[in-house]
Amino acid sequence: MATAAPKPPIPRKSALRQSASEQSLHALPYPLSPVTNAHAHKDSYETGRTAPPAYEWVPEPVTGDSDDNRPVEGEKLAALRRSGGYQRKNPFSWRRRTWLIIAGVALLAIALIVGLAVGLTVGRRGSNSNNGAAQNTPDPTSSGGADQQPFPIGQYSMITRLQTLNSSCTSNAETWNCFPYQVYDPANAATSDGSRSIYNWVISNTSSTYATIGSGSTSDDGEPANLTISSTSNPFSLMFEDTPLTYISPESNSSSARYTFRIDMDKAFNPPVSLAANNVATQCYFNQTSLTGTLYLSAPRTYPESNNSDGGLQWPYAIDITQSSPGGTDVPACYEFVQGQLGARITSGLTPQPADTECSCDYRNY
């Protein structure tokens, strides 16, 4: 029978080495309170086993703990990010704004230069124009709108005064008169306005080429101007339309260049006194009356002094307008005039005058 080999001796426990039970006991605080659980019937102490506490996140305070209540550095950074301050500035944004400003200033300067150039060009052309141009310019002292056509085309106010009155063609001077029925007297200032008469006339061209003061000299009888003249409202109802103008510029007197026209018409006039035996109103007719007009192209005017043309463009030069009627049989022919109707003819007190006599009214602005 074999004998079992002897076991090696157990080494002596070091004073520094502890058993597992001793290590667990030293790791726990003393004294330990007994744990009551399902194994409470055991008469022993056991290590307490509890679940870890629930995780609760507490946000950082917005204000710091310092006495001045400034936000903590983390909150400063968050605010900076919310405002976009953390983004890098675009180095080209300020350059773009600078170029836009420069471009705007350059465009403004170019527009100013172009405007000045156009204005100077137009002014130079106007200053270089002369009286020989086909399209003359009105006297700068006369008033007119920006849409005024080249002179002499357009509508003009012919502002005149009744300068002379002659009634030689009739045996009764009361039967002849002209608007405004007051003759201008230089010695009487009150007649300056009382003798004023305005003709509103329109001049039109019948061809693209028409006579002006630069068209050269003519015979004493003149030549067609390729222009017509028409009346608008007239103080004494002398109406006419598209009457041809004649251009006269005699070589002997070029300064008297002018347009002239003539119209034959019947002139009616109501005498201020009755010629009838029954003292009813009277109306007289001068059936051989002519209206002649002369519009000068360089001779100066002296009236009116102001540029007020009562809403129209003044003719810039001298004007001479005449109504005239020769004497003779049935000059004048007068009738009773009752409620706008002609009645019996009136012959008493009216003696025919010689044919070489003349009644006239002369209007001028010089």
211-225 pLDDT tens trace: 999 898 999 999 999
346 token code pair? 């009136």
Long-range CB contacts for residues 265-269, cutoff 8 Å, separation at least 24: 265/238, 265/240, 265/289, 265/290, 265/291, 267/323, 267/325, 269/175, 269/176, 269/177, 269/332
In the structure, what pLDDT confidence band is assigned to residue 147 with cuts at 50, 70 and 90?
A: low
Q: Any residues with CB less than 8 A from the CB of 136 and at least 6 apart, and which?
A: 150, 151, 152, 212, 213, 214, 297
What is the pLDDT at residue 96?
Answer: 76
Residue 125 domain-assigned (yes or no): no
Answer yes or no: are the C-beta atoms of 275 and 349 closer than 8 Å: yes
Residue 228 has pLDDT above 90, yes or no: yes
User: Residues for the chain: how many in total?
Assistant: 366
What is the pLDDT at residue 118?
Answer: 74
How many alpha carbons lie under 13 Å from residue 267 in its C-beta half-sphere? 25
Higher-scoring residue by pLDDT: 241, 60: 241
What is the pLDDT at residue 41?
Answer: 46
Return the ∠ at Cα 213 (arms to 210 and 219), rounded to 5°. Answer: 85
Residue 341 has pLDDT above 90, yes or no: yes
- Total domains, the chain: 1
User: Among 24-28, 172-176, 214-218, 277-281, which stretch is predicted with the lowest mean pLDDT?
Assistant: 24-28
Residue 104 has pLDDT above 80, yes or no: yes
In the structure, what pLDDT confidence band is assigned to residue 45 with cuts at 50, 70 and 90?
A: very low
Residue 190 domain-assigned (yes or no): yes
Residue 30 has pLDDT above 90, yes or no: no
Residue 240 domain-assigned (yes or no): yes
Residue 26 has pLDDT above 60, yes or no: no
Q: Any residues with CB less than 8 A from the CB of 89 and at least 6 apart, and which?
A: none
Q: Any residues with CB less than 8 A from the CB of 348 and at least 6 apart, and which?
A: 275, 277
Higher-scoring residue by pLDDT: 52, 72: 52
What is the pLDDT at residue 322?
Answer: 98
Instruction: For residues 288-304, give the mean pLDDT.
Output: 95
Residue 149 domain-assigned (yes or no): no
Residue 180 has pLDDT above 90, yes or no: yes
Residue 239 domain-assigned (yes or no): yes
What is the pLDDT at residue 247?
Answer: 98
Residue 316 domain-assigned (yes or no): yes
Closest CA to 151 of 304, 292, 315: 315
Higher-scoring residue by pLDDT: 174, 77: 174
Residue 332 domain-assigned (yes or no): yes
Range of the domain at 326: 154-364
Answer yes or no: are the C-beta atoms of 253 and 217 closer than 8 Å: no
- How many other β-carbons are positioned within 10 Å of the β-carbon of residue 179? 16
What is the pLDDT at residue 117?
Answer: 78
Q: Is 132 exposed, middle or buried (0-12, 13-18, 19+ CB in 10 A)?
A: exposed
In the structure, what pLDDT confidence band is assigned to residue 130 with cuts at 50, 70 and 90?
A: very low
Residue 111 domain-assigned (yes or no): no
Q: To the nearest whole number, what is the mean pLDDT of the chain? A: 78
Residue 138 has pLDDT above 90, yes or no: no
User: Among 29-38, 260-269, 320-329, which stretch is predicted with the lowest mean pLDDT?
Assistant: 29-38
Residue 178 has pLDDT above 50, yes or no: yes
The pTM of the full predicted model, rounded to 2 decimals, is: 0.60
Answer yes or no: are the C-beta atoms of 280 and 274 closer than 8 Å: yes
**Phi, psi at 287, each rounded to 5°:** -85, 5
